[in-house]
């Protein structure tokens, strides 16, 4: 299957998660004290860092997640599938809660500036992971597919590098621009 089709598969999986997240009925009042404490702890940690370190932290966290997903993709593509659907669900879930507490404009101001880079990075990186993982799984069961492993790895690593590159401006914008828009 072409990489372009894997992009559509990744968008579809992310979209499924997003729909479920948007349709999950809840509010901040429904979150447990432990959930709220964990969120506050993360926010406090990021706010306490100098902006440069916060951007580096966000970048490394996002890069690590994509690379780990790619490396573990040969395990029947479970990690990329989970990464896409869970990230979609979280985006929808948090967006609904925040839009109820603040506004849709607030949600968009918080997401769009860095999301323009981060969401395509997620889709491109996870599409590469799905593509590579599928080739590895097929090669395990069909000898004639084994010759496709190295070319697939090289091609999908190129796509992964593009995705990882997009995460850098996303982290910088998330650190420097997004807070200005939310105040």
Residue 67 tokens, joined: 């690379």
Mean pLDDT in residue range 138-161: 93
| pLDDT tops 70 at residue 50 | yes
* CA-wise closest residue to 7 among 161, 154, 132, 123: 123
Q: Categorize the per-residue pLDDT at 125 as very low, low, confident or very high, splitting at 50, 70 and 90.
A: very high
- DSSP helix/strand/coil, 109: helix
> How much of the chain exceeds pLDDT 90, in percent?
73
Ranges of each domain in the chain: 3-25+32-182
Compute how many other C-beta atoms are within 10 angstroms of the C-beta atom of residue 110: 19
| pLDDT tops 90 at residue 108 | yes
Which of 22-31, 81-90, 96-105 holds the top average pLDDT?
81-90
Give the whole-angstrom CA distance, residue 21 versus residue 15: 10
User: When comparing pLDDT for 61 and 29, which is higher?
Assistant: 61
pLDDT tens profile 66-93: 999 999 999 989 999 999 999 999 999 9
Mean pLDDT in residue range 112-131: 96
Q: Categorize the per-residue pLDDT at 35 as very low, low, confident or very high, splitting at 50, 70 and 90.
A: confident
Segment among 2-11, 44-53, 81-90 with least mean pLDDT: 44-53
Please report the pLDDT score of residue 31 as a whole number: 67
Residues 6 or more apart in contact with residue 63 via CB below 8 angstroms? 164, 167
User: When comparing pLDDT for 48 and 59, which is higher?
Assistant: 59
Q: Categorize the per-residue pLDDT at 39 as very low, low, confident or very high, splitting at 50, 70 and 90.
A: confident
Please report the pLDDT score of residue 65 as a whole number: 97
């Amino acid at each position: 299957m072409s990489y372009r089709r894997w992009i559509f598969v990744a968008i579809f999986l992310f979209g499924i998660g997003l729909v479920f997240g948007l349709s999950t009925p809840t509010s901040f009042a429904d979150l447990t004290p432990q959930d709220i404490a964990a969120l506050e702890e993360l926010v406090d940690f990021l706010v306490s860092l100098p902006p440069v370190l916060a951007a580096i932290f966000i970048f490394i966290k996002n890069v690590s997640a994509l690379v780990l997903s790619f490396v573990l993709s040969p395990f029947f593509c479970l990690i990329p599938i989970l990464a896409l659907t869970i990230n979609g669900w979280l985006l929808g879930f948090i967006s609904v809660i925040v839009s109820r507490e603040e506004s849709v404009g607030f949600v968009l101001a918080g997401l769009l500036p860095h999301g323009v880079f981060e969401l395509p990075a997620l889709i491109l990186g996870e599409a590469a992971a799905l593509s590579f993982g599928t080739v590895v799984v097929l090669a395990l069961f069909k000898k004639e597919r084994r010759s496709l492993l190295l070319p697939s790895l090289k091609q999908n690593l190129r796509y992964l590098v593009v995705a990882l590159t997009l995460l850098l401006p996303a982290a910088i914008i998330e650190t420097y621009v997004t807070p200005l828009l939310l105040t």
